Structure 1
């Protein structure tokens, strides 16, 4: 099982570093297939996301992909939004939340597919607006248990003038806030398989470094094409699960 977890960690880490995602959408189903319970699988995935997002933030900071001084406000808003989302879960039906999430993802993906990988306008730098965007995405993170990067990247590219690769990196930075919060909560509730989580988390660091290395070497146009296809695949899988019940 150690080898399987290590290989999964490297693979998910590479996807996270390259696409700017948390990785839970990929890792949780595979962990279930390996025999872990759903709660264990979520905990292991969250532990991997914490390690991966922290390393990714450090690498992108060293490469000056973004300025943490500004984009940290996305995370601050995300923390508040996730709390609100947690309360909204009790007020709204799950089906309503899922369809609303899919509708927003479909809209933002459409915008991403039609946008240029090189922005045609100046990047918007507005900390209060960053907090609002982070809060909006954080609400869905709290309601649906997703990292939020699948919404973050298209929004930044389509509406905020962010270069595609930078937006992808910021999406993974945002995951750091939500995953750390989830890790603390799950650890406190005693739902964390620390041994399995540590194996996957440490091995994912190799994948994260590899994914970010590849991110900075692929052409922006080619990156957009691969990213859109990947997002469409994730969207289709999510939609199928919702429709199939």
Structure 2
């Protein structure tokens, strides 16, 4: 199982860096197929996201993809929201978590499919709003074991005027806050499998570097098409798992 987790970590890290996601949208369904329960999968996924998002934030800072001065307020709200979501993992039924996860993927797919890769409105800069949005997204992050960028990216593009590639980078920056918060909460509740999570976390660092390098080479229109296809695949895999039981 160690080899499978290491390979999964590299793959998830690459997709995370390229698509600006925390990795839970990929790792949670695959971990389910590997035989882990939904709550175990969420704990392993969150552990990987802590390491991957920290590496990504460092790389994007060096590349000056965005300024953390304003966007960090997304993260402040996300910390509170993710802690609340992490607690809800303990009290909700597994079936509820699984169907909520599928619903979030469906929403994201719809928003991305109909959004423009080039913004059609000025970029909104509003720190209180950033905190509010971050808090709401953070609840789903901690609850579903995803970093939050699965929701954050389409919100930034569709409603707040962010360019697609910048939104992806900011979404992964947001993951740094929510994943740390969710990790602390889940660890306190005894829902973290440290060995499996550490294997995925360390192996994902290589993938993160590769994914961000690929992101900076692709044209934005091509990037959007690939992003939509990626979410269609995740939706199909997760739906099949839930329907098949």
TM-score w.r.t. the length of structure 1 is: 0.84
SS in 2 for 1:137: helix
- For the residues of structure 2 that align with 1:138 and 1:182, how far apart are their CA atoms? 9
Partner of 1:130: 130
Q: Tell me the C-alpha RMSD between the 2 structures.
A: 3.1
Partner of 1:208: 208
SS in 2 for 1:31: helix
Is 2:223 the partner of 1:228? no
> More deviation in 59-68 or 3-12?
3-12
Map 1:96-111 to 2 at 5 A: 106=106, 109-111=109-111
Partner of 2:119: 119
- CA deviation after TM superposition for structure 1 residue 107, in Å: 5.1
- For the residues of structure 1 that align with 2:173 and 2:115, how far apart are their CA atoms? 22
> More deviation in 12-21 or 100-109?
100-109
Partner of 2:44: 44
Structure 1 pair 31/91, CA: closer, same or farther in 2 (3 Å)?
closer
SS in 2 for 1:119: coil
Partner of 2:31: 31
Assess if the C-alpha contact under 8 Å between 1:153 and 1:168 holds in 2. Answer: yes
Partner of 1:151: 151
SS in 1 for 2:65: coil
Is 2:224 the partner of 1:199? no
Structure 1 pair 68/241, CA: closer, same or farther in 2 (3 Å)?
same
Query: Which sections of structure 2, spanning at least 5 residues, go unmatched?
Result: none
- For the residues of structure 2 that align with 1:97 and 1:5, how far apart are their CA atoms? 22
Structure 1 pair 236/123, CA: closer, same or farther in 2 (3 Å)?
same
- CA deviation after TM superposition for structure 1 residue 144, in Å: 3.7
Structure 1 pair 203/136, CA: closer, same or farther in 2 (3 Å)?
same
- CA deviation after TM superposition for structure 1 residue 203, in Å: 1.2
- CA deviation after TM superposition for structure 1 residue 221, in Å: 0.4
Cα-to-partner distance string for 1:24-44 (whole Å, 9 max, x where unaligned):
232234334445555544333
- CA deviation after TM superposition for structure 1 residue 45, in Å: 2.1
Name which one, 1 or 2, has greater alpha-carbon Rg.
1
SS in 2 for 1:121: coil
Map 1:52-201 to 2 at 5 A: 52-85=52-85, 106=106, 109-201=109-201
Structure 1 pair 58/121, CA: closer, same or farther in 2 (3 Å)?
same
SS in 1 for 2:118: coil
How many pairs were matched up?
Answer: 245
Assess if the C-alpha contact under 8 Å between 1:150 and 1:231 holds in 2. Answer: no
